[in-house]
């Protein structure tokens, strides 16, 4: 795989200690409906920051306010030292925006898409010709430079959208659900490119409802639901704080999960060795939260219970979300 260096951004040149983004009590209402309900967060320069939450949580709305394309109803916001509401064009010039849906020009070639986008920023053609080559190399699309966009795979289109968003050397990259809809291999290629950008000092702000994406990419994240922040921390810190080290997934096959959960709580409740915490009842399975899930399984077998299937795994951000909201991230 080519190892093109991340393209230049303005990030590393800026040694200011002020946050990349600061939101205080940020609120957005549509009529009577509150989409973003007084959220407060701060993004440090150079970090990868995530908004993790289910559909409708208010993530895209928050991104639109950061990107100076939606006005806030109340609260304060500062992006790269500027108020997006007052200095929208200056804020937009310092951002790279990757929307949820690719909005590439299907009529143009891959290279022309980058050049045309750069023209919107008033960048000179001579600069753009060289910049497009650099960005195509980074996005692993040099071999597709003259292809039409409609001939690209979904993963390639996503990489082109990111390459295009880098044309103005932004210091902050906003990515709304960057890999939703891509196959696993395409997601990994994209994660690798984003990781390189982060390594080069670009601030990444992304929304996702994929916990694995948040775990892979984010230094820190907020868990959002119904327009509010439920928790904040690093992926590992959130798991430590809100879940056990391990989870035992059990399927018993019949519709007795709630009743079985009570029984299991009695079996495991006083067992220090298993480090039992609690049980979540899902329609198709039980999730037993325990520091030592294998030990918990041994105790369950010893009590004469025989699950149809059992699986021991590490806790994930999905477990954190379930603990905080009682719901799964992907409904």
Ligand X SMILES: Nc1ncnc2c1ncn2[C@@H]1O[C@H](COP(=O)(O)OP(=O)(O)OP(=O)(O)O)[C@@H](O)[C@H]1O
Longest dimension (CA), the chain: 75
Q: Which of 305, 311, 299 is nearest to 246 (CA)?
A: 311
Q: What does the per-residue mask of binding to ligand X show for 29-58, with x meaning CB under 6 A? A: -x--x-x-----------------x-xxxx
Contact between 59 and ligand X per CB under 6 A? yes
Cα 82-85-89 angle, rounded to 5 deg: 70
Shortest distance (Å) from residue 40 CB to ligand X? 17
Is residue 97 close enough to count as binding ligand X by CB under 6 A?
A: no
Q: According to the binding rule CB under 6 A, does residue 230 interact with ligand X?
A: no
Residue 64 beta carbon to ligand X: minimum distance, rounded to whole angstroms: 8
Any contact of residue 208 with ligand X (CB under 6 A)? no
Which residue carries 């559909």 as its tokens? 55
Question: Distance between CA atoms of 96 and 20, rounded to whole angstroms?
Answer: 13
The DSSP secondary structure of 30-75, one letter per residue, reads ETTEEEEEEEEEEE-TT-EEEEE--TTSSHHHHHHHHTTSS--SEE
Nearer to ligand X, 223 or 287 (CB): 223
Q: Which is nearer to ligand X, 230 or 264 (CB)?
A: 230
Assess 178 for contact with ligand X (CB under 6 A).
no
Cβ proximity to ligand X: between 224 and 274 the closer is 224
Least distance from C-beta 94 to ligand X, angstroms? 22
315 binds ligand X, rule: CB under 6 A: no
To ligand X, the closest distance from the beta carbon of 314 in angstroms equals: 26
How wide is the angle at C-alpha 286 spanned by C-alphas 281 and 289, nearest 5°?
95
Contact 94, 84 (CB under 8 A): no
**Residue 323: CB minimum distance to ligand X, A:** 19
Minimum distance from residue 1 beta carbon to ligand X (Å)? 30
Does 170 engage in binding with ligand X (CB under 6 A)? no
- Nearest Cα neighbor of 7 from 202, 234, 249 is 202
Q: According to CB under 6 A, which residues from 283 to 302 bind ligand X?
A: none
**115 binds ligand X per the rule CB under 6 A:** no
Question: What is the smallest separation between the CB atom of 175 and ligand X, expressed in angstroms?
Answer: 12
Closest CA to 66 of 37, 30, 97: 97
Q: How far is CA 239 from CA 120, 235, 297, 315, in A?
A: 43, 6, 21, 7
72 binds ligand X, rule: CB under 6 A: no
Report whether 282 contacts 260 (CB < 8 A): no
Residues 331 and 327: their CA atoms lie apart, in Å, by 8
Q: How many amino acids of this chain bind ligand X (CB under 6 A)?
A: 11
Q: Does 217 contact ligand X by CB under 6 A?
A: no
Binding site for ligand X (CB under 6 A): 30, 33, 35, 53, 55-61
């Amino acid at each position: 795989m080519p190892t093109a260096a991340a393209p230049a951004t303005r990030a590393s040149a800026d040694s200011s200690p002020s946050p990349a983004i600061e939101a205080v009590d940020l609120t957005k209402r549509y009529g009577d409906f509150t989409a973003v309900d007084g959220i407060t967060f701060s993004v440090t320069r150079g970090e990868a920051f995530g908004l993790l939450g289910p559909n409708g949580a208010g993530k895209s709305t928050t991104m639109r306010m950061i990107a100076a394309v939606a006005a806030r109803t109340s609260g304060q916001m500062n992006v790269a030292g500027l108020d997006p509401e007052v200095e929208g064009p200056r804020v937009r010039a310092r951002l790279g925006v990757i929307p949820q849906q690719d909005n590439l020009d299907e009529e143009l070639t891959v290279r022309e898409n980058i050049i045309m986008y750069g023209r919107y920023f008033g960048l000179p053609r001579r600069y753009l010709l060289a910049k497009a080559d650099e960005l195509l190399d980074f996005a692993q699309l040099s071999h597709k430079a003259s292809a039409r966009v409609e001939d690209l795979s979904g993963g390639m289109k996503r990489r082109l959208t990111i390459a295009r968003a880098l044309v103005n050397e932004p210091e902050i990259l906003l990515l709304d659900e960057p890999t939703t809809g891509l196959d696993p291999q395409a997601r990994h290629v994209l994660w690798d490119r984003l990781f390189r950008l982060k390594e080069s000092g670009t601030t990444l702000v992304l929304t996702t409802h994929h916990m694995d994406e948040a775990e892979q990419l984010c230094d820190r994240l907020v868990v959002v639901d119904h327009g509010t922040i439920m928790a904040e921390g690093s992926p590992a810190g959130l798991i430590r704080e809100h879940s056990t080290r391990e989870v035992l997934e059990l399927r018993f096959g019949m519709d007795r999960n709630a009743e079985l959960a009570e029984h299991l709580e009695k079996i495991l409740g006083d067992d220090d060795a298993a480090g039992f915490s609690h049980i979540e009842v899902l329609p198709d399975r039980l999730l037993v939260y325990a520091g030592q899930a294998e030990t918990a399984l041994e105790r369950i077998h010893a009590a004469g219970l025989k699950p149809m299937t059992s699986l021991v795994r590490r806790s994930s951000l999905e477990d954190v979300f379930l603990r905080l909201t009682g719901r799964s991230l992907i409904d």
